[in-house]
A = this chain, B = another copy of it.
Amino acid sequence: MAQQYDRDDMLKLGNQLCFPLYAASRLVQRMYHPLLEPHGLTYAQYIVLMVLWEDAPSAVSHIAERTILNTNTITPLLKRLEQQGHITRTRSPQDERVVMIELTDSGRDLHNELGDVPEKLYGSLGSSDEELWALKQQLHRFIEQLQVVVEDE
């Protein structure tokens, strides 16, 4: 993308890739908020719950890896979910460094209660499924490359 602009244009907001990523992500989160808030959930908690609905129990580090978040972000977030009664946190007897996260009945119930959230969200957009799918696939490829670079630093 560098070759397409002169030096001044390189710093224009409209020519950045970082900015539409940033803006789109926050707009999507704003869309989720009214659907999650009645269940007392934040967007980040919802992301973590999606990992657990697929793969519980899980270690904190596994959740961090799946969500591409630092463990020091995950830990306080999980503590709040625990306080809300949706998960439990226990040290693994096999390796006491590891904290295992399990879903409670309440946490599992949320899976049912929130099952229609994505449909409600994407249903209200003008994009076709094909367009959204294509965007998702491109983002996955992009993330793979970003992860390579970020890990090398």
Interface size on A, residues (CB 8 A): 69
Chief secondary structure at chain A's binding surface: helix
A115 CB to closest chain B CB (Å) equals 5
The reply to whether A143 and B27 form a contact with Cβ atoms under 8 Å apart is yes
The reply to whether A20 and B143 form a contact with Cβ atoms under 8 Å apart is yes
The reply to whether B51 and A13 form a contact with Cβ atoms under 8 Å apart is yes
Stretch at the interface among A84-92, A99-107, A119-127: A119-127
User: This chain: how many copies in the complex?
Assistant: 2
Contact of A21 among B28, B53, B67, B114 (CB under 8 A): B28
A146 to B142, CA, bound (A): 21
Within A54-111, the residues touching B (CB, 8 Å) are 54, 66-69, 111
A22 CB to closest chain B CB (Å) equals 5
4 tightest CB-CB pairs across the interface, nearest first? A20-B139, A27-B146, A1-B132, A21-B25
> What 13 additional pairs, Cβ within 8 angstroms, besides A2-B119, A17-B28, A22-B25?
A2-B129, A11-B115, A17-B122, A19-B50, A20-B140, A21-B139, A22-B47, A24-B139, A26-B68, A31-B146, A127-B141, A127-B142, A135-B142
Residues in A lying within 8 Å of B, measured CB to CB: 1-4, 7, 10-13, 16-32, 34, 47, 50-51, 53-54, 66-69, 111, 114-115, 117-119, 121-127, 129, 131-136, 138-143, 145-150, 153
